[in-house]
Structure 1
């Protein structure tokens, strides 16, 4: 794997880190890129080279194309976009996987757990780089393991495809995302796990969001809720609560005010019974419900937008929430602020979202729309706003 020399790469990393708003420390960059702070320090000082993989991880954390950091300034095509055909190909071979390696079950568990952490942290390049081979390996295991191990392999496959789907959906490959969701829905019942099925129902809502079929999506979620067991354990409470959160948002998009408020009330009540955490791959708890209060208010729009501003005046997402969820809060808040005539505040919220999860923010269509609107309004420093708009490809 190529190792880039000290000819300017470290300096460019230090530059982009310093112009982030708010500015990233070396420790924050190291945490976001999953490398040691010592390595960041040495790279920026030019005391060590940097591999392609590390360069891409740092670029992801900074929210810039890796080509901007390379000394040769190569093409700006990102590894995520390049991976989409590979993910499509591996999906096609699920029924008839090619021969290849197959690690023991405990190693596959570790690999899938890593992909779930990357998804929650919005580390999409890491997912794109690792998932095609992992999904192929899991497909081989699915067809070869003894019957007694099939349920766990199905669970691992669903979790891995959920990580791959996050990449497809966030980067606009909605047809590929829908095909992944369809596979998850087909195989999940083999695990005979109602919580796994609930998590698939949660993810499946993406297809309705993408098609703007909000009323149908609400019906699908309410059907899934009817099939979930009466919750007693924390995991069951979280599964049901997450479905109510999702139903509240899509009800808002469908302009079903009463349904949105009912589902949000149910989610709030369930959240009081457990601690905030990640359950079956989905964050749920009091903080997640607070974030969804903002989402519902923005989804309903009009007279409800002020509710999003009210939440934000009193509360901010704690730093231990998944990065993707925290950045989503600020993206939604920015839209509410823009609609309320608070353009400067909206731009500040977008910059906070970028700082938390650059890739998630850059690929979000609302960010592009709102950055373009702010640019037309000329309500912020023109150079800073222009740089932001170009960064997220706002038109």
Structure 2
């Protein structure tokens, strides 16, 4: 049963639901969402929230990407990004072959700087440039690590794999992102760096969060906190600890555990007061702003759109904040504005997200769902206005 032209998340849910032999009412009985909402999502009259998508994917035993349609190949081909995926896949697969005899690596300080610049490109959402450079950077640092191993060069390689994860997530290749996290762990263990290992657990937790496996996500957060105990007290350690609490707050929000959300946000806030805006600490963008942004996301996940909107209106993004994080916030704000009926404000937020990070916004599943919701509302509004105008005699 092929999917029709103009498919969207709702049509994909319907497709996989039918393949599983379930009616709409049958599926609605297995998820914490109403039959009415499910029918509206499948028909395209309502956007599919990340929570609904993750829940349905789990019930239907399919990946979330099967429902969201990622990666978005048409757009990737238009942006000439699809052709860069195979070299990335190969670069992630050649980690255990030892040094490449054709490569003469630069000195370690230059390679560390290259790894840092690679991170900088991704935070600036220059995805095409980052994807183009990724295979060569991985190959060169890997060769250097085999020929002259040191904690510094292995840490640089681990950081590069971590950034490869970020690139592949933003492009919608979640299978590759998981491989990149495995490679990150492989290199971090050789660097004997507990901070990188803890960050890796945090990122693994987000993978399971996206797939609706909240218990596993919570266990990974706890594992990351345990690993941090091996690190000496430092600003970087406090930033990682705070970020772990932020991740835990969103997982708890998706599980509708309000007390846990409150507790984790309080812990993160305490760490943020100690480190300030720590955008330079392992590229986490941790600090008071990120705590406020995560508080907004937590309220969205719990369906508390009024409170999310109130807090979102109070967020002020620092000028030097990573545009990848800022753009993500504006996508979240657009969603809650749409839910609150503030369609013009939602459109402005999406335009801001696009201005800051056009490629990231284009491939962001949440942005696409919000745009679809706004389009539906725009089509419906004129009829409503005509009815009201007739009603008052205009």
Residue matched to 2:144? 141
Q: Is the 8 A contact 1:80 1:167 kept in 2?
A: no
Q: Which residue of 1 aligns with 2:259?
A: 258
1:291 to 290, 293, 296: 293
The verdict on how the C-alpha distance between 1:366 and 1:295 changes in structure 2, with shifts beyond 3 A counting, is same
Query: Which residue in 2 is equivalent to 1:126?
Result: 129
Paired position in structure 2 for 1:362: 362
SS at match of 2:275: coil
- CA pair 381-106 structure 1, distance change in 2 beyond 3 A: farther
What is the match of residue 191 of structure 1? 191
CA gap of 1:129–1:381, structure 2 versus 1, over 3 A, is: farther
TM-score, structure 1 normalization? 0.73
Do 1:79 and 1:129's aligned partners in 2 also have CA atoms closer than 8 Å? no
The answer on 1:243 being equivalent to 2:244 is yes
Decide whether aligned partners of structure 1 residues 299 and 376 sit closer, same or farther in structure 2, where only a CA change above 3 A counts: same
User: Structure 2: which 5+ residue stretches go unaligned?
Assistant: 1-73, 383-394
**In 2, are the aligned partners of 1:291 and 1:317 still within 8 Å (CA)?**
no
* Structure 1 residues 241 and 380: CA distance shift in structure 2, 3 A: farther
Matched, 1:91 2:109: no
Conserved? CA contact 2:201–2:223, under 8 Å: no
* Residue aligning to 2:61: none
Contact 2:245 2:264 in 1 (8 A): yes
Which structure 2 residues correspond to residues 218-233 of structure 1 after superposition, within 5 A? Answer: 218-229=218-229, 232-233=233-234
Matches within 5 A, 1:199-210: 199-210=199-210
In 2, distance between residues paired with 1:203 and 1:350? 26
For residues 275 and 380 of structure 1, what CA distance do their matches in structure 2 show? 46
Aligned with 1:103: secondary structure?
Answer: coil
Indicate conservation of the 8 Å contact 2:199/2:224, yes or no: no
In 1, are the aligned partners of 2:112 and 2:153 still within 8 Å (CA)?
Answer: no
Choose 176-185 or 193-202, whichever is displaced more: 193-202
Question: How many residues are treated as equivalent by the alignment?
Answer: 305
Residues 92-145 of structure 1 deviation map (CA, whole Å, 9 limit, x = unaligned): 111015432211111111211110111211111111011111101112122221
Aligned-residue CA RMSD (Å): 2.3
Displacement of 1:76 in angstroms is 4.6
Work out the CA distance in 1 between the residues paired with 2:197 and 2:330. Answer: 30
Which residue of structure 1 aligns with residue 44 of structure 2?
none
Distance change (3 Å), C-alpha of 1:379 and 1:241: farther
d(CA) in 1 for partners of 2:204, 2:83: 24
Equivalent residues in 2 for 1:130-169 (5 A)? Answer: 130-146=133-149, 149=150, 151-169=151-169
- Structure 1 residue 358: deviation in Å? 1.1
For structure 1, the residue ranges without an aligned partner over 5 or more in a row are 1-66, 69-74, 383-395
Distance 1:247 1:178 in 2: 20
Contact 2:217–2:251 under 8 Å retained in 1 = yes
Q: Does the 8 Å CA contact 1:241/1:270 hold for their aligned counterparts?
A: yes
Using the TM superposition, give the Cα deviation of residue 272 of structure 1 relative to its aligned residue in structure 2, in angstroms.
0.7
Deviations 1:364-389 (A, max 9, x none): 0011111011111117999xxxxxxx
Distance (Å, rounded) in 1 between the aligned partners of 2:182 and 2:114: 23
Aligned counterparts of 1:130 and 1:266: Cα–Cα separation in 2: 38
Partner SS for 1:282: coil
Deviations 1:21-51 (A, max 9, x none): xxxxxxxxxxxxxxxxxxxxxxxxxxxxxxx
For the pair 1:371 / 2:371, whether they are aligned, the reply is: yes
List aligned pairs for 1:29-40, cutoff 5 A: none
Indicate how the Cα distance of structure 1 residues 367 and 284 shifts in structure 2: closer, same or farther if over 3 A, else same.
same
Separation of aligned partners in 1, 2:89 and 2:317: 35
